[in-house]
Amino acid sequence: MRRLKKILLVLVLLITVCGLNAYANEPAANKEPKEEEFNVREFILEHISDSYVWHLTKIGDHEISIPLPVIVYSQLSGWHVFMATEIMEGETKDGLFIATEGKYKGKIVEADSLGNETRPFDISITKNVFALLFSSLLLILIIMGVARSYKKKPMESKKGFVGFMEMFIMNINDDVIKPCVGKDYKKYAPYLLTVFFFVFINNTLGLVPIFPGGANLTGNIAITFVLALLTFLIVNISGSKEYWREILWPDVPLWLKAPVPLMPVIEIVGIFSKSFALMIRLFANMLAGHSIVLGLTALIFVTVKMGPVMNTSMTVVSFVFSIFIGFVEILVAYIQAYIFTMLSAVFIGLARVEPHHKKEIEETKHS
Amino acid sequence: MSLLLPESGLLFWMVLSFGTVVFILTKYGFPVIVKMVEDRKNYIDESLLIAKKAYEQMEKLKADGEAIVDQARREQVKILNDATKIRDLLINDAKEKAQLEGYKLIEEAKKQILIEKEDAIRDIRRQVAELSVDIAEKVLRGRLEKKEEQMDMINRLLDEINISKS
């Protein structure tokens, strides 16, 4: 009961902070409409995409942001390592600058001999990379801490945070991975658990609007791409003979597979579409969640022109809806991690099918 | 559109950091936790089973103990009964023997008394005889103080002898 209260308290705090943040953004963005038309599309895109500095807020005309290192390999001039603040204000350093428009808008580019903008190999510690490193470290610390607690006192029932994590881990292990993968689930359980907690911690940190959180990491296609690719590799590497036979020579009437390999083609597309769906599902859900919260916040700035009454009432509406969406997003953070893990487990389970058609043939013979 | 294209830098860092996370957690993290939890679960199950067995054994021992106590009680009663019987028997025997002994003693006493009596009677007779002889002597002496009397006597006696001879 006490633990439940604690969790509730944390949730309420999270939501409150979320809402406060919506207001905190207000003065920063409120200045803009005076100078130019407030662009909702720009506002949202700026927040959900990557950037070279971690923008915190704007006090007066002074931008407050955390500088992050830029690491770039240019084919023309080799390696460059410097702080991103050096090129933030439209400056050029060693021929590198941030493109203001075109294909590479907002990215570091350099001009080649013909004057075209080209993209150097860019492994800068951007906002997303920093959030990724932070959450990876946090995840390792949490799980290794829990594991150490087990090594220290193996046969003891755990309380507090370790007890909560035990419940969480065993719930995913026993109720998701075990039934979905079937036998031999132990081989895949550590990877699937890692995926679950990686996605969950990044989803959750994405909802925290203050510094180490708030990056739209799982709503970035590069992240979901790597996750889906790993699942794709594991599913197809652990695929049994029966799995490949069902793809290449499925149990369908001969004309569906003999002259024109209709079913095999569909099945092969299916191999890729499964993982592709995994990638898009997580990406789109998290992106949409962030966009909705930002859109609701933008409502305040959009209605500024409509007079104080409209603006105030819409501010209240925006605040209430932000709280509601905040709750929904916490749910989504868990559900998306859960679904990603469950579907990965199901795909692995499906790829490890045992031959069953022989039995069926025997049964039909008997009947 | 830029949202749908994976950025090479982020891809690079994602592969690196997620690879590290997967490596560390699948090697030292989750297997340890899951194994420990399952070990503990097995341990608890086993302990419960052992406790149940111990309880059953205890119940059995208790029942056994009660049976033993019951039997002991029955034995006790039996032994007590036997003891009572034996005691009665012994007492009866002793009584009979004592009676027999008593009779014997009485008989002997009677015999002794009879002998004593006869002895006493014999003694009395002898003494009476002696006394009567003495008395007779004295009487005779009294009577035969004078000469004629003596002569009378002798004559009479002679007569008597003669009469008896004739």
Q: Of A74, A104, A136, which to mutate for an interface test with B (greatest number of B Cβ within 10 Å)?
A: A136
Residue tagged 């895949």 (tokens) = A188
Domain count, chain B: 1
Query: Which chain A residues contact residue B24 at CB under 8 A?
Result: 140, 144
Mean pLDDT of A29-48: 67
The CA–CA distances, whole Å, from A207 to A96, A204, B3, B128 equal: 33, 5, 19, 157
For residue range A100-129, what is the model confidence (pLDDT) as tens digits? 777 777 788 887 777 777 888 888 888 889
For residue range A160-198, what is the model confidence (pLDDT) as tens digits? 898 899 899 999 999 999 999 988 888 899 999 999 999
Query: How many Å apart are CA A246 and CA A256, to the nearest integer?
Result: 13
Contact B8 A123 (CB under 8 A): yes
Residue B3 to chain A, least CA–CA distance (Å) = 7
Higher pLDDT, A328 or A99: A328
The answer to whether A259 faces chain B, any CB pair under 8 Å, is no
- Report whether pLDDT(A15) > 60: no
Residue A267 to chain B, least CA–CA distance (Å) = 25
Query: How many Å apart are CA A236 and CA A215, to the nearest integer?
Result: 32
The answer to whether A223 faces chain B, any CB pair under 8 Å, is yes
Contact B37 A151 (CB under 8 A): no
Residue A124: per-residue pLDDT? 85
Higher pLDDT, A222 or A97: A222
Residue A238 to chain B, least CA–CA distance (Å) = 17
Beta strands in chain A (DSSP E): 54-59, 62-66, 69-74, 78-83, 96-98, 108-111, 117-118, 121-122
Contact A136 B9 (CB under 8 A): no
The answer to whether A340 faces chain B, any CB pair under 8 Å, is no
Query: How many Å apart are CA A291 and CA A364, to the nearest integer?
Result: 55
User: How many contacts does A have with B, using Cβ atoms within 8 A?
Assistant: 127
Domain range for B88? 9-165
The answer to whether B33 faces chain A, any CB pair under 8 Å, is yes
Instruction: Say what percent of chain A tops pLDDT 90.
Output: 31
Contact A132 B12 (CB under 8 A): no
Residue A127 to chain B, least CA–CA distance (Å) = 10
Question: Residue A195: closest CA among chain B residues belongs to which residue?
Answer: B22
Higher pLDDT, A55 or B49: B49
The answer to whether A173 faces chain B, any CB pair under 8 Å, is yes
- Report whether pLDDT(A246) > 80: yes
Q: Which of A53, A7, A38 is nearest to A211 (CA)?
A: A53
Q: Tell me the backbone φ, ψ of residue A125, rounded to 5 degrees.
A: -80, 90
Contact B25 A139 (CB under 8 A): yes
Within a domain: residue B54? yes
Question: Residue A139: closest CA among chain B residues belongs to which residue?
Answer: B21
Mean pLDDT of A327-335: 93
Indicate the residue of B2, B10, B34 with minimum beta-carbon distance to A189.
B34
Query: Which chain B residues contact residue A181 at CB under 8 A?
Result: none
Query: A29 pLDDT band (50/70/90 cuts)?
Result: very low
Residues 117-136, chain B, touching A (beta carbon < 8 A): none
Within a domain: residue B123? yes
User: How would you write the pLDDT of chain B (166 residues) with one tens digit per residue?
Assistant: 567 788 888 889 999 999 999 999 999 899 988 998 888 899 999 999 999 999 999 999 999 999 999 999 999 999 999 999 999 999 999 999 999 999 999 999 999 999 999 999 999 999 999 999 999 888 888 877 778 888 888 888 888 888 877 6
Contact A222 B22 (CB under 8 A): no
Within a domain: residue B4? no
Higher pLDDT, A154 or A244: A244
Domain borders along chain A are 69-122, 127-356
